[in-house]
Amino acid sequence: MTATTWRRGLAGLLSVFAFLAGTASYARAAVPSYIPTTPAPFVVLQIESGSVTVRTWDRAGVQLIADPGITSNHAPTRQVAARAPRQIMLWSETITTPAGALNLAPEPFLLPPFPPGEHDALIVRGSGNVTLTVPEQTPLVLANVRTGSVNVDNFHGNALVVHVGSGNVRLDDDSGTAAVQVNSGPVYAANSVFERLRLRTGRGNVVMNNCRANQIQVTSLVGSILYDDGIFEPGIARFETNRGMVAIGIANGAQIEAHSGVGRIFYDVGPDGTVNRGPTDTQATIMGGGPVVTASSVSGAVIFYRGSLRDHPMLDRRLGRKLRSDAPDFQQP
């Protein structure tokens, strides 16, 4: 991601919170700092480079531990009222490959309604490492990191939006509605329940282990996707990559629609499963059927199976370390 693109994205996100103008600024040193807030503040991070960690606690107020290059602004409720964003625009990204340019188009992401009540806002900016502990009722965490990483643990608020230019994102024990985009780098999610998840990578792999989703859409331009030992609820479930593999391990019943442009489709549906296979497309049921799950790759393999990849030695050996659930940063295709 170019500096111009990042600045435009920064300006766009800050325009969502136009009430920042005139708020007081507080420089933070690398020591614990407590910032009094309402029990449900909006939290926005704009980091040039560094590692961001977000956790929750059962208190009002935010604990901020940050390097000296980080500053923060606190906007009181009177400046925030009626100005909460309705949607966030995911950014465009272009990847150059030997076969030509691949593109992620700009995409609006609709945020869920926020709970009633008073909301103030905390905005954290600069370069350096940041650890935030936020109230468990925080309705929105929005993190934008040009170069670095974002780790979110035990977040169960309304909405989580993360954008990383170059780096990685890790989600663990989270829930709610989320949009995640990494232009260059991997995404790892575990033990999480998503009402709605939109996940995009330009050049990077995606590994999800032991997750549940009502609506999920995962796209990678150049990267492989693993959804291992996961559960699907009725709703949209779509996984697609241009250059990479897609592997789906299902812990409950599902209907599979798989497409591989090169015809490499592998599966293990068990004795009660059914398969209707064609040259490049395959339909199947696992454990009696259920929600429809679509998986496609333009130039790679598509794999689907029951449960965890570890329970299928033949598939595991064939795929090697690229799709093992204990290696979230597995080798690029």
pLDDT in tens, 175-199: 999 999 999 999 999 999 999 999 9
**Residue 38: how many CA atoms within 13 Å on its side-chain side?**
20
Residue 17: pLDDT over 70: no
Buried b (16+ CB within 10 A) or exposed e, 270-305: eeebeeeeeeeebebbbbeebbbbbbbbbbbbbbbb
Q: Quick check: is 128 in a domain?
A: yes
- 140-171 pLDDT, tens per residue? 999 999 999 999 999 999 999 999 999 999 99
Q: Quick check: is 132 in a domain?
A: yes
Residue 28: pLDDT over 50: no
Instruction: Count the domains in the chain.
Output: 2
CA distances from residue 239 to 126, 286, 327 in whole angstroms, order as listed: 34, 17, 19
Same domain, residue pair 324 and 210: yes
Name the residue range of residue 326's domain: 205-333
Q: Are 44 and 12 in contact (CB under 8 A)?
A: no
Same domain, residue pair 48 and 162: yes
pLDDT band (50, 70, 90) for residue 330: very low
Spatial separation of the C-alpha atoms in residues 280 and 264, rounded to whole Å: 7
Same domain, residue pair 31 and 174: yes
The predicted model scores a pTM of 0.89
Q: Quick check: is 246 in a domain?
A: yes
Same domain, residue pair 211 and 187: no
Q: Quick check: is 200 in a domain?
A: no
Q: Quick check: is 199 in a domain?
A: no
Same domain, residue pair 33 and 96: yes
pLDDT for res 23: 44
Q: Quick check: is 198 in a domain?
A: no
- 46-80 pLDDT, tens per residue? 999 999 999 999 999 999 999 999 999 888 887 78
Q: Quick check: is 243 in a domain?
A: yes
